[in-house]
Amino acid sequence: MKILIFTPYIGSNYGGLSKAVKETAEALGSLGLNVDLITTNANNLDKIQEPLNKWIYEKNYRIRYFSCWHRQDFIVSLPLINWLIQNIADYDIVHTNTVFAPIVSFVHWLCQLRQIPYIMTPHGMLEPWALSYKGWKKRLYYNIFEKLALQKASAIQVIANVEAHNVKSLGFEHIVTVPNGIHRQEFENLPEPEVFYQHFPETCNKNLILFLGRIDPKKGLDLLAPAFATVRAKFPQTHLVVAGPDNIGFLSTAQHYFLQAGCLDAVTFTGMLTGELKHAALAAANLYVAPSYSEGFSMSVLEGMASGLPCVITTGCNFPEAATAKAAYVVDININAIADGLIQYLSNPQQAKAMGERARGFIFQNYTWNSAAEKLIPVYKSIFDRKPLPKYLSYSQMN
């Protein structure tokens, strides 16, 4: 089988989707699959500095970047479209990522025209909150383009069981659940916290609460600000680290939330952290918080848990399995619930430590990129052989 993975963007400024797509390609290739990945050089307000329109060979797959015009995540690339028209027939299956993007809709149309099976991964963009945000535009686009594309897809890959339920409620049955993962070796030996303290000395000797994600309305920073103010009133040594890129110019609004709550002086906005510095932030943190309204399946939640951090995450993170395994506090999407979860940890440090240890083991055992690839390959094989999708991954078979 020859697999073409397509995403309109893969720049790190777009958040977890970019990492998930690359890691999926790498893991599939490591298991012997022939994988090509194509994308554009968009990186939100910037451009990726990579050679264009030529194959770049990674360890287990190859990637090709195309020039584009873009405004945030709205992307147009004539070179990519021309390449697809000439080359898409060379592939057995096309795997697309994200929805509500005209360039992705074109790929689906071309697959239908050339009779090439395709699998779609919405990455949480069909969740109720995501559909309601700028709702009238999405309803119009969904009814004209996305609904038909989803119907004609050979499979819809979701990354959480809750997401599977929500996609099924839209009327689709051909759903498989293959979650995101982590590389265990990246989290077995984290760097020293001092690496983080050197860059952000105001965080030293504090009880650090870490938020790791994009500065975006759906991430719940409007809830976190008053929740953190409540926590800090009881635990003055706490300090909040907000680590993530400002993709859409939302930073000043987010900062205003904390100013209004009276706790901005105890918050450090680091911008996006990568590599050793991100892992050092995870090592320095005492707690992890994800107050999101909506996620597909958060990469940063997996990273926080894999780092052994006690985590407070909302039901919007689509991870009830963490609560079932007693590996995280999963709380309602409101200020009091988030504050209570954080206070519970800070009031019971031994309990918090035990929760973090359970979280780490839970992620290492169940959520790695290799295990994700091992689940995805039978889906491709079923599509290639024109056989039913694997029952053990099918939401309709599990419910």
Angle CA 379–381–383, to nearest 5: 70
Asked whether residue 288 falls in the same domain as residue 227, the answer is yes
Give the whole-angstrom CA distance, residue 305 versus residue 298: 11
196 and 282 in contact (C-beta within 8 Å)? no
pLDDT of residue 45: 74
pTM metric for this prediction: 0.86
Q: Does residue 343 sit in the same domain as residue 373?
A: no
**Domain boundaries, position 64:** 2-181+368-398
Whether the CA torsion 68, 153, 383, 98 is positive or negative: it is positive
Nearest to 156 by CA among 379, 381, 399, 384: 379
d(CA 188, CA 338): 28
Does residue 82 share a domain with residue 221?
no
CATH of residue 149: 3.40.50.2000
Per cent of the chain over pLDDT 70 is 98
The tally of CA atoms less than 13 A away on the side-chain side of residue 43 is 13
Mark whether 313 and 393 lie in a shared domain.
no
Indicate whether 248 and 161 sit together in one domain. no
**Mean confidence (pLDDT) of the chain:** 94
Range 187-216 average pLDDT: 96
Residue 46 CA to residue 13 CA, distance in Å, equals 9
Residues 381 and 359 in one domain: no
The arithmetic mean of pLDDT across residues 167-174, rounded, is 94
Looking at the structure, tell me whether residues 189 and 166 fall in a common domain: no
99-123: pLDDT as tens digits:
999 999 999 999 999 999 999 999 9
Q: How is residue 37 written in tokens? A: 């990945």
Q: Are residues 111 and 61 in the same domain?
A: yes
pLDDT on residue 126: 93
User: In the predicted model, is pLDDT for residue 291 greater than 80?
Assistant: yes
Angle between helices 299-306 and 349-366 (to 10 degrees): 120
Instruction: Label residue 43 by pLDDT band (50, 70, 90).
Output: confident
pLDDT of 226 > 80? The answer is yes
**pLDDT band per the 50, 70, 90 thresholds, residue 395:** low
Q: Identify whether residues 219 and 313 lie together within a single domain.
A: yes
- Domain identity same for 212 and 147: no
Q: What is the pLDDT of residues 352-388, one digit of tens each?
A: 999 999 999 999 999 999 999 999 999 999 999 999 9
Does residue 269 register a pLDDT over 70? Answer: yes
Q: What is the pLDDT of residue 396?
A: 45
Q: Per the structure, how many domains does the chain have? A: 2
Q: Are residues 388 and 285 located together in one domain of the fold?
A: no
17, pLDDT greater than 90: no
Amino acid identity, residue 303? E
Other C-beta atoms closer than 10 Å to the C-beta of 271 total: 11
| pLDDT the model gives residue 397 | 45
Whether residues 348 and 362 share a domain: the answer is yes
Query: Residue 296's pLDDT band (boundaries 50, 70, 90)?
Result: confident
Region 68-73 average pLDDT: 83
